[in-house]
Amino acid sequence: MANQKEEVNIPKMYGKQCLSSKDDFIKLYNVNTNGLSNQEASNRLNKYGYNEVKQSKPKRWYNYFLESLFSSFNCILLGIMTILFYTDVYLSSPPSYANIIVIAILVTASTFLEFFEEYRSNKAAQKLKDLVATTTTVIRDGKEVQIPIKEIVLGDIVILSAGSMIPADLRVLEAKDLYVGQSSLTGESDAVRKNVNSEISEEDLDSISDLDTICFMGTNVISGSAKCVVIKTADDTYFGKVAHTITVGKPKTSFQTGIENISKLLIRFMLILTPIVFILNAWKHSTITAFTFAVAIAICITPLLLPVILSSSLSKGAVKMSKKKTIVKKLDSIQSFGAMNILCTDKTGTLTEDKIVLEKYLDIHGNEDLRILKHAFLNSFFQTGLRGNIDEAVVARGLQNGMQEYTSKYKLVDEIPFDFTRRRLSVVVTDGEKKQLITKGAVEEILDICTMVDFKGEISPITNKIKDNIKQISKSLNKDGLRVIAVCQKNDINYVSDFGVEDEKNMILLGFIGFLDPPKESAKSAIEKLNKAGIRVVVLTGDNLEVSKCICERVGINSKRILSGAEVEKLSDMALLRLLRKTNIFVKLSPIQKARVVRLLKESGNVVGYMGDGINDAPSLTNSDVGISVDTAVDIAKESADIILLEKDLHVLLDGVTERKKNIWKSYEIYKNGN
């Protein structure tokens, strides 16, 4: 969580841009809603520079050199050298430069060795990071294109959807149920709604939390979609103005803490031992001789080559891991990657093929019915948010069944995007005569909003018996490994002009669709090898119990004890921690519950890795010792991760861990032989 101190005048910086109506804003700032031309964008990029905050720009060579020169150990030696100037040059006759030259050579050698290794390794890491650079969608020359975030310029029209990173400070021009996570700036865990026209007055404008038409660089879209214009970039953004007061990212890893503690211990030991040696020798020898001997002891104690060995081994490890399809974004994470003893992962795509196929479309009695597929197709085809594998599978199956005509016959009227609280998505479509609200989502959540059922065109009230039968059919499909989603609709909505979550009620249940996502053939052997390597695999998923249990049993994960999100919510940290020792599968978890499980595992002394690629994985990726994602992940997941896999396969991860363990042993041998 960020720790921030507001040091900018919010009303002055954003007041006019926030409070102006959409039309006034467009006229006032001469906004081209069709986007910039490539030539105009290129001119602005040359004029204003890249969209990079000063604190996050790549370091220059002299930054690395100064850091190497003034390391904690070198500072001690430079201090000793200063004293020697006084004793061996100023006080001595004739002056002696021997000791000073020896220390100068050691400091110079240590500085240049560390500088070259650190500079080279960070250059290599930067090249690797560029392979998985985060992009954003903008309109250029009237077309939507993907460009790197750093190439965003003032006036660019940006298209946002669920999972998008906010690339700069933006003014919202169009929005549909847009909710943004601002915890990196404000510390607030709740998503904030953003509007086209502000709902606050100038008197209420005090902090960035009040700005309801402005999206800030460094935040991310939780749900909804929007079209925005860039109003500030780089250091002119709010993030850029207060970057020195914002702590972004993870707390220090156990590796970083350990290195710091070792360094402090050695320096304390030296500061204590050196005066003792000096005092003991001063009884029998001259002050100069005793001091020289004490200085020699201090030099011997100082592990000059330790930083060099660490940076060298980490950088070489990063390069070798890249050959194993594992990209290291943060060098310090390599040690945690190798020391990891618990791997938390989602089920979809990691344990399964992530090639979802729509297998069944059934009415409320479990009979195949194309009407169910039609409504699911309309929902998936016309939704404008982040289209997932489920939507792709529905659209593909619909097109196979000749539903291409519906894409032109129907038009999208409105949309209520998916979020992780409702666990459903709605679209409003019309064929020119009537409007339909079509909703699909988790079975229990859909049942909660339905009061009627439709069976072969006949509508009747939903009863407990019908609900129980639906749940039984759904559970039976789940046991066969199928993921089930319910579909419902509402027709009497011609009088409604603006739709929202409150309209998802009194709906008519149509049936459900079943998807098959079979387990990977390689998953079982990978999990066995991970277990042999001392890494326990824990599954954290939002899916239901039956499907998760079926998949986990097939890949060899112990499923005797399974905890649900509802059970996790009721448990105290202490009680949950006890259950964590014997539980490997957690189902129907919210993003916050996933992050809580990861945090507790980490606090109990484990080195925890988390593998995820979705919007809901970002908190857990940040909470873990080492966040692992894939190059096909959503922007916020890639940005939060320490390590990127070029294939979503546990064998790729296993290869990376194995390479890291080899690297640790080689580093130990180098250090042992050097001492």
- How many angstroms separate the CA atoms of 333 and 639, rounded? 14
460 beta partners: 453
In 456-556, where do the E strands start and end?
Answer: 458-461, 482-490, 507-516, 536-540
- Reply yes or no: is the peptide bond before residue 94 cis, omega within 30 of 0: yes
Tokens coding 400: 């196979």
Tokens coding 298: 């201090």
Residue 441's Cα: distance from chain center in Å? 25
Helix/strand/coil for 434: coil
User: Does residue 346 have an active-site annotation?
Assistant: yes
- How many angstroms separate the CA atoms of 368 and 260, rounded? 64
Closest C-alpha to 506, from 450, 455, 464, 459:
450
Closest C-alpha to 180, from 169, 170, 168, 190:
190
Tokens coding 455: 């069976």
Cβ-defined contacts of 617-624 (< 8 Å, 24+):
617/346, 617/591, 618/220, 618/591, 619/591, 619/592, 619/594, 619/595, 620/344, 620/540, 620/591, 620/594, 620/595, 622/249, 622/250, 622/595, 623/250, 623/595, 623/598, 623/599, 624/344, 624/598
- How many angstroms separate the CA atoms of 21 and 2, rounded? 31
* Number of Cβ atoms within 10 Å of the Cβ of 460: 11
- How many angstroms separate the CA atoms of 99 and 122, rounded? 34
In 267-416, where do the E strands start and end?
Answer: 326-328, 342-345, 357-363, 411-416
Q: What is the dihedral sign for C-alpha 454, 457, 461, 464?
A: negative
Virtual torsion, Cα 641, 642, 648, 654, nearest 10 deg: -150
Query: Phi/psi at 179 (nearest 5 deg)?
Result: -120, 130
Type and span of the H or E element at 425? strand 424-430
Task: Choose the catalytic residue: 212, 236, 332, 346.
Answer: 346
Q: Which sequence positions are flagged as catalytic? A: 346
